[in-house]
Structure 1
């Protein structure tokens, strides 16, 4: 009995340890969850404070899904795919929706700001309404900074300590210099470092005038150029001219109808999409570039597949020796970075000094204008892209050809079939089904092959009569980029509308190709 009691007492201290492990795990679990949510909510609040409403909403959605997945036991299996889901939301769905949203606004280089920011910008404008006086910045005996203002015949004055938040409604009353003992003036570089802070202070001069920082060495009597009216309009205090906020154009306009920069972003409805489809100077280049983009992507897939299949078939031929060497040499263009190859080809096709034109001139006496003639420029792009893309098709075809049973070719040979019959009735039917998704992916990639166009032709030669920057070799993606970042107006909204149309077109064509090829998705 004693031995049993002793064993129970010895075992009893171990019991709390066994029970404390789940408690510790649960505590750690909820601590990590609480810390994650606290940090996420702090980020959301910070984004909201910066008026980034869309990004704050995105943070709430991602955090809410994370909390649901990691707390709800029924969603246990989904926590393993949550990182992929979060990445899809942040890097795919949100940018797509954000781009579509911009397409319904007038967002551009002239309409970047919100209405509140533009209104604040105008209200901060001032004009010189009096004399200018030299100033210097000094610490006093307590180490607090004060402004020393020399008002000439009126005397020298010192401001109260520059501490706290500047209030325009409560100007600092200047004191006679004799009332304060100041140390040596701070150097100019420290004044420059504090310039944004000093610009916020308002001083009341000896005669009641309001003084503000004017440059780096002077203060002056300045007045606000605009005054906000009750209905939201602005009144010019110098000319008494009224500025009205035009929600249609996104600008403040004066009585003559002239726009006063900067503009603000407003909802523009379907106007950008309507411009693409109805305005001839935009519609015609857009349709021309769209047709060329589809042709470029389709012909690239066709040429690379044909060349890759022919070379793969040759490498499967038993009579060909040194197959390992040929494979390495044929796949070598795939190993070289594309941008290097493109720049090399740009030099080779140079109209004046390129090796290709030098060779053609010596053999046939011709120097084609590869970068000036639209047809030659497009032909050059197809040649270069075929060279860059055929190794990918070669690798695919080599693997798929090895999977075709040799018995089929032997049986066809006994029936007297020709190589063309083998290609059309055996090889292609067995290759096209597994190749279909990859061909569609290759088509979609070349539909948006921005790097090739940018590095090789930069979209040129230009399309005559287009009001937007458009070239005959531009793809839709490079055309959109030029509208957004290279046009003098930088029309981001129009570029977003075109990008939305590109997404719809590519998505629709991919869906149609998948249906026609009977690929299960």
Structure 2
């Protein structure tokens, strides 16, 4: 085969010089395309951040800027370009771990709740939109005519009617009322009035004397005016109905009336607004007896529940692992499969099945206990029985995991140790005490600490089985005898009797994070020691 050089085909141009130009051209094109894409991403995300900030979402605007700046820095710099492969992981950690954590801790230092969700500007705007009836009300009728709809209002013996109104496109409209003898058209029923309520609410009617009326009910128009007027200072409100002066109380996040000396009086005016209150939420945990007592009780129960769940599950799992690993036992594979089944079945299914089995009136467990021993515990109404039931179910769900761990660790222990022990005349108990347990303790300890942390926040079990019940009496926030701290926090955040208190819930969540985070650090420290 005859070979032909590129330079022979293309003439006098050297091959190396042509290749260099092609490479430079390709690199320039790629560089331009990269910077175009990076610039476009920066502009779009920057614009999105500005929109978020304009709507009061400062934290999300900062998050967008941080992620965008980090991405542009990594992909735009030659020194950091090699880190582009780990950028998705870093961005995910910031978005799903660091940001929610910082956001939660930030809320813990505010009064953010169901009553204080808005910003100050938004709360003031809502108050300024309120109106009150300042004059006489007039009954109205809506007529359907050939050209559209017309409104008719009766003022004493006089019938006042508008021109044709387009109700299909709701918009702020102003119509003058004119006297007329009769209205030609079909009177609309209440069902049609309800369907056009949004459009009718945006209509202002002008009476012959110049006064304006607005819809105040499904059958009435009335003279209305703004309930509050904003003074020139931009913060003070005047109640046009009672002539009270209201100022924002930045300590509690509400507008309140003031007396002649400037002291706040009366009840706060809702809606409130979110303000920074420092460590007040953390102080409530220790100063409010209605929160402190259930918090301490639930914290102690959470620790006991976690310790007993891990300890008893470990003991059961270790015993069963030793049994199914016994070579003289026939059908070991079948036993292993049956004992692992509770771990294979989704936990929420097992929990709901146990909820039916423990039913106080019709559950099979109480039927058996009644037939054999003559008593049937009140599993869901007695605090002690409820805690025992929660532990039983959690141990049932947890022992297969411990058994699997122990089975693997038993296999890793050299047989030579047991053979040497047998020559010394040691029995099974001595082997377990001097060989098996010490060899399993170090690798098991980090896993036990991790299991303790999991059970410390075992929200699903409590929520599906008891929902924290039976409930405690005399608490400031809803609390139950089987609540774990995470469930207690959830109930404060979403089931609070005095309003959903997200600030207090975030403060408790911060404490939980510190406790579980401390356990995680201890776990890492212990794992390093066990490697030595």
CA distance 1:165–1:453, change in 2 (3 Å):
closer
Match of 2:347 in 1: 338
Instruction: Tell me the TM-score normalised to structure 2 length.
Output: 0.85
Match of 2:94 in 1: 89
CA deviation digits over 1:457-476, x for unaligned, max 9? 22122233322211221100
CA distance, structure 1, for counterparts of residue 128 and residue 290 of structure 2: 39
Match of 1:429 in 2: 438
CA distance, structure 1, for counterparts of residue 196 and residue 370 of structure 2: 66
Pick from 237, 250, 253 the counterpart of residue 250 of structure 1. 253
Match of 1:77 in 2: 82
1:356 equivalent in alignment to 2:365: yes
Pick from 67, 72, 75 the counterpart of residue 67 of structure 1. 72
Q: Give the match's secondary structure for 1:254.
A: strand
RMSD between superposed Cα atoms in Å:
3.6
Pick from 3, 8, 11 the counterpart of residue 8 of structure 1. 11
CA distance, structure 2, for counterparts of residue 463 and residue 309 of structure 1: 37
Pick from 426, 437, 454 the counterpart of residue 463 of structure 2. 454
CA contact (8 A) 2:7 2:14 kept: no
CA distance, structure 1, for counterparts of residue 212 and residue 398 of structure 2: 70
CA distance, structure 2, for counterparts of residue 8 and residue 133 of structure 1: 98
CA distance, structure 1, for counterparts of residue 146 and residue 249 of structure 2: 50
CA contact (8 A) 1:160 1:175 kept: no
Trace 1:327-476 onto structure 2 (pairs within 5 A): 327-476=336-485
Match of 2:3 in 1: none
Pick from 27, 41, 49 the counterpart of residue 46 of structure 2. 41
Match of 1:312 in 2: 321
Q: Which has the higher mean CA deviation after the structures are superposed, 469-478 or 3-12?
A: 3-12
Pick from 508, 513, 525 the counterpart of residue 503 of structure 1. 513
CA deviation digits over 1:132-163, x for unaligned, max 9? 3647699999xxxx985435537434489999
Trace 1:82-481 onto structure 2 (pairs within 5 A): 82-128=87-133, 129-132=135-138, 134=140, 148-152=150-154, 153=158, 155-158=160-163, 172=174, 174=176, 199=201, 202=204, 204-215=206-217, 219-231=221-233, 232-255=235-258, 256-481=265-490
How far residue 42 of structure 1 moved from its aligned partner, in angstroms, is 3.5
How far residue 216 of structure 1 moved from its aligned partner, in angstroms, is 5.9
CA contact (8 A) 1:514 1:520 kept: no
How far residue 263 of structure 1 moved from its aligned partner, in angstroms, is 2.0
Match of 1:32 in 2: 37
Q: Give the match's secondary structure for 1:74.
A: coil
Q: Give the match's secondary structure for 2:246.
A: strand
How far residue 438 of structure 1 moved from its aligned partner, in angstroms, is 1.9
How far residue 481 of structure 1 moved from its aligned partner, in angstroms, is 0.9
CA contact (8 A) 1:133 1:149 kept: no
CA distance, structure 2, for counterparts of residue 86 and residue 190 of structure 1: 53
Q: Which has the higher mean CA deviation after the structures are superposed, 403-412 or 277-286?
A: 277-286
CA contact (8 A) 1:136 1:217 kept: no
Q: Give the match's secondary structure for 2:359.
A: coil
How far residue 193 of structure 1 moved from its aligned partner, in angstroms, is 7.3
CA distance, structure 1, for counterparts of residue 461 and residue 407 of structure 2: 26
CA distance 1:74–1:437, change in 2 (3 Å):
farther
CA distance 1:20–1:235, change in 2 (3 Å):
same
Q: Which has the higher mean CA deviation after the structures are superposed, 215-224 or 448-457?
A: 215-224
How far residue 76 of structure 1 moved from its aligned partner, in angstroms, is 2.3
Q: Which has the higher mean CA deviation after the structures are superposed, 65-74 or 109-118?
A: 109-118
CA distance, structure 2, for counterparts of residue 421 and residue 514 of structure 1: 31
CA distance 1:163–1:379, change in 2 (3 Å):
closer
Q: Give the match's secondary structure for 1:468.
A: coil
CA distance, structure 2, for counterparts of residue 273 and residue 456 of structure 1: 30
Instruction: Tell me the TM-score normalised to structure 1 length.
Output: 0.87
How far residue 407 of structure 1 moved from its aligned partner, in angstroms, is 0.8
Q: Which has the higher mean CA deviation after the structures are superposed, 205-214 or 10-19?
A: 10-19
Match of 1:21 in 2: 26
How far residue 478 of structure 1 moved from its aligned partner, in angstroms, is 0.6
CA contact (8 A) 1:159 1:175 kept: no
CA distance, structure 1, for counterparts of residue 363 and residue 522 of structure 2: 42
Q: Give the match's secondary structure for 2:80.
A: helix
* Residue ranges of structure 1 left out of the alignment (5+ in a row): none
How far residue 221 of structure 1 moved from its aligned partner, in angstroms, is 2.6
CA deviation digits over 1:421-444, x for unaligned, max 9? 222322222222222332222111
How far residue 273 of structure 1 moved from its aligned partner, in angstroms, is 0.5
Q: Which has the higher mean CA deviation after the structures are superposed, 464-473 or 117-126?
A: 464-473
Match of 1:512 in 2: 522
How far residue 301 of structure 1 moved from its aligned partner, in angstroms, is 1.1
Q: Which has the higher mean CA deviation after the structures are superposed, 13-22 or 227-236?
A: 13-22
CA distance, structure 2, for counterparts of residue 38 and residue 195 of structure 1: 43
Q: Give the match's secondary structure for 2:66.
A: helix
CA deviation digits over 1:100-144, x for unaligned, max 9? 111111222222222222211221111222443647699999xxx
Q: Give the match's secondary structure for 1:262.
A: coil
CA contact (8 A) 2:348 2:460 kept: yes
Q: Give the match's secondary structure for 1:258.
A: strand
CA distance, structure 2, for counterparts of residue 97 and residue 347 of structure 1: 40
Q: Give the match's secondary structure for 1:40.
A: helix
CA distance, structure 2, for counterparts of residue 259 and residue 356 of structure 1: 53
Q: Which has the higher mean CA deviation after the structures are superposed, 194-203 or 37-46?
A: 194-203
* Residue ranges of structure 2 left out of the alignment (5+ in a row): 1-5, 259-264
